[in-house]
Amino acid sequence: MRMPSGKKGVPKAHPHYHGHEAKPTAHLDASSSALFHTDFSYSSELLSFLDGKQLLPQEIPFPSDLIQAHHEHGYLSYEKGLTKTKHGWRCARCGNEDPHFFATFPCARCQAMCTYCRKCITMGRVSECTPLVTSRVRFPSVSYPNPLAWSGTLSPGQKRAAEAVEKAIMGNGELLVWAVCGAGKTEVLFQGIARALEIGKRVCIATPRTDVVRELAPRLKQAFPSVPLIALYGGSDDRGKFAPFVISTTHQLLRFSRAFDVMVIDEVDAFPYSVEPMLEYAVAKARKETSSLIYLTATPKRSWQRDVRHGKRQAVTIPARYHGFPLPVPAFEWCGNWRKQLKRRRLPRNVLAWVQSRIEAGKQAFFFIPHIEVIDPVVRIFKQLDERIEGVHAEDPQRAEKVQAFRDGRLPLLVTTTILERGVTVPNIDVAVLGAEDRIFTESALVQIAGRVGRSAQHPSGDIRFFHYGKTREMVAAKRHIERMNKEAAERGMIRR
């Protein structure tokens, strides 16, 4: 359904909204069967606010009478938040069907015991009596001529990938961009996104991690200065807004419905997307039926790697880094039963020697450990070598300060859990893993960890040491993964000589 022209407006929050209650159950209809009254004087503010969204009534900053009138005249549809299935319930917002994630509460609105979804509760309660509101009208899309202001150059590998991305976007196809850490995968999207925006397509880049959203948003704003762009994550100021260009955590996608022509999933393998069917559901719901889907990752899961090798999945690889030097390959080093030693407040000699030699050479390093409990005892021992050594983990209140101190060169070594496996790029460092045999160090985690080393053209190499108490399949797979990429890069003439 298209809006009659001449009435389109910029979405604006209603100034007199004071938080109205939703309508009771009797008003729910999932059928969207209301007749569409063309003589109704609709609010373009409300409709453009709701365009492409699926929201709880309390998330819509307009009076409930106005919302209700739009519903009665066929402009909005109310979908049931929960529907009955053969086995129990299904949440229409997050797709949850797991009985463990449903509970009941005495509900004031429907004055009965009411079931609700616990899975997506952090985004507001979806219960039996909750409608999810979507707009039934689409606004004409806006196009942005020549939106790309970026003038950098692409490496040959990036160029080929950029062309494949553009082709997938224009043809509403699906594509995996498998790019090594440091290949420059964001720039690979620019050309295709520019084409999409030029013809009025709506673009979303989704990633599981808030850090990535925060980091990417300013870069994208700079590359596309004329295009309204919003960044969505828990607590972001842009929540509730809509723009032709959205960068969002996968979680925030739950508030969209059939919104995007182009969906890019960054770091598809990263926690929690790979383990969370909810987020997969969110991605599927937020895309239009006809749309393109681009996955970006350095470490696709093994089944995808296999599919790519057998030509069963459309993919383009960038096996070389932007600077054209090969990826440093990890070395394995047995270190015995380090946990037992740690109980006696000791660490294996070769581990200490590695740390000592970094300190002497003045080379900074990340030191990865498998579990948070290991940080303190390890740091205590390392502080005897250099008291500036610190440890950091996900819930550390000083996390940002410590990472910054490391970036500034004020810390020689940072002991860390896998939280720093992605994202943090420091030009000239070595990395070690203690207990590389631990289950937490999957192929993907180890490839990402190795990917921290040699990122800048000035310092393209470095030492990657996996200290272990028994080599694992994951370790071997990670090393083979890196070697295979180097081989492919060499064969394609992408390695600098």
Binding site for Zn ion (CB under 5 A): 91, 93-94, 96, 107, 109-110, 114, 117, 119-120, 127, 129
Residue among 240 and 277 whose Cβ is closer to Zn ion: 277
**Pairing mode of beta strands 82-84, 89-91:** antiparallel
Side-chain-side CA neighbours of 50 within 13 Å: the count stands at 30
Burial (CB count <10 Å: 0-12, 13-18, 19+), residue 417: buried
Residue among 96 and 442 whose Cβ is closer to Zn ion: 96
Residue among 123 and 203 whose Cβ is closer to Zn ion: 123
Q: In 3D, which of 308, 306, 266 has the Cα closest to residue 283?
A: 266
Q: How far is the CB of 53 from Zn ion (least distance, A)?
A: 16
Task: Decide if 116 contacts 105 (C-beta within 8 A).
Answer: yes
**Pairing mode of beta strands 390-392, 429-434:** unpaired
Residue among 35 and 108 whose Cβ is closer to Zn ion: 108
Q: Which amino acid is at 43?
A: S
Q: State the Cα–Cα distance between residues 48 and 62, nearest whole angstrom.
A: 12
Q: How far is the CB of 204 from Zn ion (least distance, A)?
A: 20
Q: How far is the CB of 123 from Zn ion (least distance, A)?
A: 8
Q: How far is the CB of 120 from Zn ion (least distance, A)?
A: 3
Task: Decide if 228 contacts 147 (C-beta within 8 A).
Answer: no
Task: Decide if 453 contacts 431 (C-beta within 8 A).
Answer: yes
Residue among 22 and 180 whose Cβ is closer to Zn ion: 22
Q: State the Cα–Cα distance between residues 376 and 435, nearest whole angstrom.
A: 15
Q: Alpha-carbon torsion 117, 121, 123, 124, what sign? A: positive
Q: How far is the CB of 95 from Zn ion (least distance, A)?
A: 7
Q: In Å, how far are 34, 190, 288, 351 from 30, measured between CA atoms?
A: 10, 39, 19, 62
Q: What residues are paired with 105 via a beta bridge? A: 114
Q: In 3D, which of 481, 45, 400, 69 has the Cα closest to residue 214?
A: 400
Q: How far is the CB of 20 from Zn ion (least distance, A)?
A: 16
| Tokens linked to 344 | 């006696």
Q: What residues are paired with 316 via a beta bridge? A: 177
Q: In 3D, which of 314, 269, 275, 317 has the Cα closest to residue 293?
A: 314
Which residue in the block uniquely carries the two structure tokens 């492919």? 488
The answer for residues whose C-beta is within 8 angstroms of residue 100's C-beta and 6 or more apart is: none
Q: How far is the CB of 279 from Zn ion (least distance, A)?
A: 12
Residue among 69 and 121 whose Cβ is closer to Zn ion: 121
Residue among 14 and 109 whose Cβ is closer to Zn ion: 109
Residue among 119 and 468 whose Cβ is closer to Zn ion: 119
Q: How far is the CB of 235 from Zn ion (least distance, A)?
A: 20
The answer for residues whose C-beta is within 8 angstroms of residue 218's C-beta and 6 or more apart is: none
Residue among 159 and 239 whose Cβ is closer to Zn ion: 239
Q: How far is the CB of 121 from Zn ion (least distance, A)?
A: 7
Residue among 93 and 201 whose Cβ is closer to Zn ion: 93
How are strands ordered across the β-sheet holding 390-392?
A: 331-334, 464-468, 429-434, 364-368, 413-416, 390-392
Residue among 125 and 363 whose Cβ is closer to Zn ion: 125
Q: Helices marked H in 287-391 — which ranges?
A: 302-309, 338-343, 349-361, 372-382
Number of neighbouring beta carbons within 10 Å of residue 198? 14
Q: How far is the CB of 280 from Zn ion (least distance, A)?
A: 14
Q: How far is the CB of 255 from Zn ion (least distance, A)?
A: 12
Residue among 110 and 477 whose Cβ is closer to Zn ion: 110
What is the chain's percent helix, strand, coil content, to nearest 5? 35, 20, 45
Q: How far is the CB of 271 from Zn ion (least distance, A)?
A: 20
